[in-house]
Structure 1
């Protein structure tokens, strides 16, 4: 049976008859999507890994199954961003790829740290914290708590109340005096509980009396009903701490828990703080 062609249609715009713009045929005239470009770049990076002595653009195009023109474009971009480097006409992995590998190692180490914190929580029967001092502020990175080991309720900003809790005191105690004064100038001490030192001179004296490797003990200075201990961790220029907290009803256990925490942290490889 003969097919009958559909009559052409016109569209009137402003009184002028126009023929509709024909749709582009599927698969033609389309630009590569962003995800396609990313996939191609990853295929190129994988291909580079198969050549221990480096590879030329033509070798990589053939291995990755990409057009040579596309390969040249992607290689220029990857080299510019540091993921690849070029030497003697061949391409090798660059420093940015090494950074990805180090980041993966750090993620693995942080995962191991989390497991160790949970183990310490169960061994000590106390909530466990890991914190860093970065960019002039206290950062609580992770907390391992449980139904029987509740974490301290952060009712006052930890960054602004470092003078009052064991974590902050331990971190500030590892800083030079000028850095301590700078921190307290930005976050002046305030009285949170009847036990809190709210005088800057008194806080500085206390910080200067702390011993570099000994736990810092704090009893109800940040929150009523809670006692805490923190152990310093210093690796290069990084300032860190691991701490525990207990309900005040268990305050008699604090010194022993702090000592056990100190021994446990000393046995750990603290590369996770880097």
Structure 2
């Protein structure tokens, strides 16, 4: 986590903490539980929860428990729209998933974070809970991330890896910057990248960077498959999709 800045508004931090806790809960959360989980006194929690309900970020159910409100979903859609996907991006993903049968992804770097911007599921790929629209994912252990790392200068790559760390997901995950650098430095932007079980065991992925319409703007188009090897025809379909997107 970055160092805590000075001048934080505690009530804002507390309200955001409540939204996070309630949104992540598998069932409605009573206000006393919210207070305990967020480390707040009950009176403060009541005031914050009432305000969040008024603003639409929480909803109180007849049972007395609270769930995330419609404004949470609104902010999510605004965030995804803010990435300004290429106009035909979803159509390209849908066609890639249709002809290959594999899940197709679109991702980009945003403030040094790798974010999934769009996807279309395919029956031949496993459902991966950490690769969903709006979620940040691992730049060092995914083909999407490596395809985009190849578009950066070496100092920028090293800074990104150092900032976010390199957690181990499987025994095959690279955990040292030199490991990723040795792989990425040989790639040209737009070349297909393949990873084997580095992010999820028994899953392999292919990714390719596609230039956007602005300077230094790149998208990553990718697909996942079960097993240890990416099918050759999936790589071919991915190249065709990248050409369509660009």
Q: Do Structure 1 and Structure 2 share a fold, with TM-score over 0.5?
A: yes
Q: How does 1:118-267 map to 2 (within 5 A)?
A: 118-154=94-130, 159=136, 161-235=138-212, 236-248=215-227, 251=229, 253=231, 255-267=232-244
Q: Partner of 1:209: helix, strand, or coil?
A: coil
Deviation at 1:258, TM superposition (A): 1.5
Q: Which has the larger radius of gyration?
A: 1
CA contact (8 A) 1:160 1:187 kept: no
The gaps in structure 2 that reach 5 residues or longer are: 1-80
Report if the CA contact (8 A) 2:190-2:208 is conserved: yes
Partner of 1:39: none
In the TM superposition, 1:35-46 aligns within 5 A as: none
8 Å contact from structure 1 (residues 231, 258) kept in 2 = no
Q: When the two structures are aligned, how many residues end up with a matched partner?
A: 161
Q: Does the CA-based 8 Å contact 1:171-1:239 persist in structure 2? A: yes
Shift of 1:243: 0.1
Q: Which runs of 4+ in 1 moved over 6 A?
A: none
Closer/same/farther in 2, CA of residues 125 and 184 from structure 1, 3 Å limit: same
Cα distance, 1:116 vs structure 2: 2.3
Shift of 1:200: 1.5
Residue pair 1:215, 1:259 contacting (<8 A) in 2 also: no
Q: TM-score scaled by structure 1? A: 0.53
Structure 1 unmatched ranges of 5 or more: 1-102
- RCO higher in 1 or 2 (8 Å CA, sep ≥ 6)? 2
For residues 252 and 138 of structure 1, what CA distance do their matches in structure 2 show? 22
- Alpha-carbon distance in 2 for matches of 1:160, 1:257: 22
- Which range is displaced more, 145-154 or 184-193? 145-154
SS at 1:232 equivalent: strand
Deviations 1:180-232 (A, max 9, x none): 01101111223211111111212122111223231000110000121100011
SS of aligned partner of 1:122? helix
TM-score (norm 2): 0.59
